[in-house]
Amino acid sequence: MMKKLLKSKMYLVGTLTMSIILFVSTGIQFWLTDYFINVLHFERTSVNIAYAVVSITGPTSGCGFGGFIINRIGGYENPKTVYYVFLFASIGIGSALFIPFIDSFYPVTIFLWLVLFFGGAMMPGLTGIMMTSVPPYLRAFGNSNGEIIKNILGYLPAPFMYGWFNYMFGERAGVKLIMFWGLWAPFLLLLGSLHRYRQLKKKKVNPLLDNNKDSLYDIPDD
């Protein structure tokens, strides 16, 4: 089953991209308030209030927005899902790249909100990509293994890597690592978009216009 699962390119793209997003979000969760207070020297009360508002409204509204968009194009089984997730990733990571170089409270808070909003917007589509890229009989197994991969590559290393980079390379190195690590997400999704495009072209289906849901699997449905 594992051999079959790893033959699905879109499953790997979805799982690895999810791991990257969780790496970024976990680093933000553990360390951004510390960064704002001890590196940028923002006032603690303002940081705590702003972070609470941003961390609640950003990913929550983003997830709702992403789910709405995916539903509007016909659900996550639509092959165009990966294109929209790539767009969300590009905007979110583009916003993240500004954060390590901004010292003003309100601009950095706005960019952080955008990162969390578009990170949340990616989640419905990424979940759909992971599940619809493998046949039904592999989905429970694929979901379990996906959780293991996401924990090992996402949740586990982020807090440690932030602290280690700060210790080795300076007080802003950790936040640069967290934000720039997200660049892997649009890169992987670009590869996934190209793969999906070629996959549908082989079926003589217009990848941009047709809502074809057939043969999205990279492995046989047996």
In a domain, 215, yes or no: no
Residue 131's nearest CA partner among 3, 2, 5, 1 is 5
- At residue 211 the predicted structure's pLDDT band, cuts being 50, 70 and 90, is low
The residue among 63 and 211 whose pLDDT is bigger is 63
d(CA 7, CA 58): 35
In a domain, 76, yes or no: yes
Taking residues 82-98, what's their average pLDDT? 94
In a domain, 3, yes or no: no
Residue 123 has pLDDT above 90, yes or no: yes
| CATH code for the domain of 21 | 1.20.1250.20
- At residue 218 the predicted structure's pLDDT band, cuts being 50, 70 and 90, is low
* DSSP label at residue 40: S
The residue among 90 and 131 whose pLDDT is bigger is 90
Which H or E run includes 146? helix 139-150
Backbone φ and ψ of 218, nearest 5°: -90, -5
In a domain, 8, yes or no: no
What is the total count of domains within the chain?
1
Counting residues of the chain whose pLDDT is more than 70, the rounded percentage is: 91
Residue 167 lies in domain: 14-202
For 20, the 3-state DSSP assignment is helix
Q: CB of 111 within 8 A of CB of 98? A: yes
d(CA 197, CA 195): 5
Q: What is the pLDDT of residue 222?
A: 46
In a domain, 7, yes or no: no
Backbone φ and ψ of 40, nearest 5°: -85, -15
Q: What is the pLDDT of residue 135?
A: 84
Neighbours of 145 (CB within 10 A): 17
In a domain, 221, yes or no: no
- At residue 77 the predicted structure's pLDDT band, cuts being 50, 70 and 90, is confident
In a domain, 55, yes or no: yes
Q: What is the pLDDT of residue 56?
A: 94
In a domain, 122, yes or no: yes
